[in-house]
């Protein structure tokens, strides 16, 4: 059973893709919980929604490729601009003028575009473990060859389009292990694994290729254009996107940085209490 259920839900169709969204609670400001990579649906916010909805209006949606949303197969359907446009369409459908935008991992890329290009719709931005390609990728990830056919790939080499077509569950098992580097994370790993297996390797490959447009220069440009208050939360034990990425983003966006020492890539799932309190505190400051 869920801890809370939406007060309303709906579907918006944009550019031929259906996007399923939910609205919870009431109160100002609205918190928009953005989707992350097309591996998991909006349920990855399950530890935040009931708490935040007691204090604010909360809107979230399944990112394209996940949950109840459509699963286009072309990479062009998965650019940061597409996700940002989905967010605007959901805000319009839910009657939300402006929101505090909270993102996790590569949700940062859509949050940056949204905040830079539509400053009137973004009251503040919280970035959790952001994908911010402003610094080199973690050393252990530099073995990735996404488009090449590899014999018996291991570790991060399994981050590979061909491997995903034939060994998607094996990749999910590897990736969830890197997502949660904290001991005693069996439940979080099970949750993400279950959600990830609702989609497929081909869809995820399209989602990955769609993001190749996001390079250091583009990210830096967007981050520097952010005019709203910014909070970056990043764990030192993040084995997917290094802590240096969060640090660099906070620097570019002139934001505050909260370092979670020892935390992995999904602290909102593994350390939900601290993350909830940080989001609440940030939104309360906007409210004042």
Judged by CB under 8 A, the chain residues 95 through 124 that form the site for another protein are none
User: Does 1 interact with another protein (rule: CB under 8 A)?
Assistant: yes
* Residue closer to another protein (CB basis): 44 or 243: 44
> Do residues 116 and 68 make contact, with C-beta atoms less than 8 angstroms apart?
no
Spacing of C-alpha 93 from chain mean position: 21
From the list 151, 184, 261, 288, which residue makes contact with another protein (rule: CB under 8 A)?
184
User: Does 6 interact with another protein (rule: CB under 8 A)?
Assistant: no
User: Does 288 interact with another protein (rule: CB under 8 A)?
Assistant: no
Spacing of C-alpha 43 from chain mean position: 12
User: Does 167 interact with another protein (rule: CB under 8 A)?
Assistant: no
d(C-alpha 54, C-alpha 24), whole Å = 9
From the list 9, 11, 15, 54, which residue makes contact with another protein (rule: CB under 8 A)?
54
From the list 74, 139, 183, 261, which residue makes contact with another protein (rule: CB under 8 A)?
183
> For the window 211-250, what string marks contact with another protein as x by the rule CB under 8 A?
----------------------------------------
Tokens 């983003």 — which residue?
249
Is the peptide bond between 29 and the residue preceding it cis, with omega within 30 degrees of 0? yes
- Give the other-Cβ count within 10 Å of 61's Cβ: 32
User: Does 261 interact with another protein (rule: CB under 8 A)?
Assistant: no
Closest CA to 110 of 193, 194, 38: 38
Q: Which tokens go with 241? A: 């996107």
In the DSSP assignment, the letter for residue 236 is: T
* Residue closer to another protein (CB basis): 16 or 288: 288
d(C-alpha 254, C-alpha 17), whole Å = 35
Tokens 């349920």 — which residue?
43
Q: Which tokens go with 197? A: 């297996």
User: Does 4 interact with another protein (rule: CB under 8 A)?
Assistant: yes
* Helices 216-225/243-252 angle, 10° precision: 50
From the list 11, 146, 272, 286, which residue makes contact with another protein (rule: CB under 8 A)?
272
User: Does 22 interact with another protein (rule: CB under 8 A)?
Assistant: no
Report, in Å, the least distance between residue 175 CB and another protein. Answer: 20
Judged by CB under 8 A, the chain residues 33 through 52 that form the site for another protein are 46-47, 50-51
Query: Contact residues for another protein (CB under 8 A)?
Result: 1-4, 46-47, 50-51, 54, 183-184, 186-187, 271-274, 276
């Amino acid at each position: 059973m869920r801890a809370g259920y939406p007060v309303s839900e709906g579907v918006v169709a944009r550019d031929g893709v259906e996007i399923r969204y939910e609205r919870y609670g009431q109160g100002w400001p609205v918190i928009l919980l953005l989707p992350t990579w097309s591996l998991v649906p909006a349920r990855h916010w399950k530890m935040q929604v009931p708490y935040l909805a007691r204090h604010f209006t909360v809107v979230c949606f399944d990112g394209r490729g996940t949950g109840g949303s459509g699963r286009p197969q072309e990479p062009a359907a998965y650019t940061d601009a597409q996700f940002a446009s989905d967010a605007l369409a959901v805000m319009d459908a839910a009657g939300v003028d402006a929101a505090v935008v909270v993102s996790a991992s590569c949700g940062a890329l859509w949050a940056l575009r949204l905040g830079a290009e539509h400053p009137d719709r973004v009251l503040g931005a919280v970035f959790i473990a952001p994908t911010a390609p402003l610094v080199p990728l973690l050393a252990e990830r530099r073995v990735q060859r996404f488009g090449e056919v590899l014999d018996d790939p291991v570790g991060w080499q399994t981050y590979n389009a061909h491997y995903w077509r034939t060994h998607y569950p094996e990749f999910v098992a590897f990736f969830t292990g890197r997502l949660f580097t904290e001991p005693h994370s069996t439940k979080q790993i099970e949750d993400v694994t279950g959600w990830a297996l609702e989609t497929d390797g081909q869809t995820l490959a399209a989602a990955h290729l769609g993001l190749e447009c996001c390079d250091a220069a583009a990210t830096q440009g967007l981050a520097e254009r952010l005019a709203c208050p910014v909070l970056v939360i990043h764990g030192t034990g993040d084995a997917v996107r290094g802590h240096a990425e969060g640090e660099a983003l906070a620097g570019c966006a002139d934001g505050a940085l909260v370092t979670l020492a020892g935390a992995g890539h999904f602290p909102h799932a593994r350390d939900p209490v601290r993350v909830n309190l940080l989001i609440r505190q940030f939104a309360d400051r906007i409210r004042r």
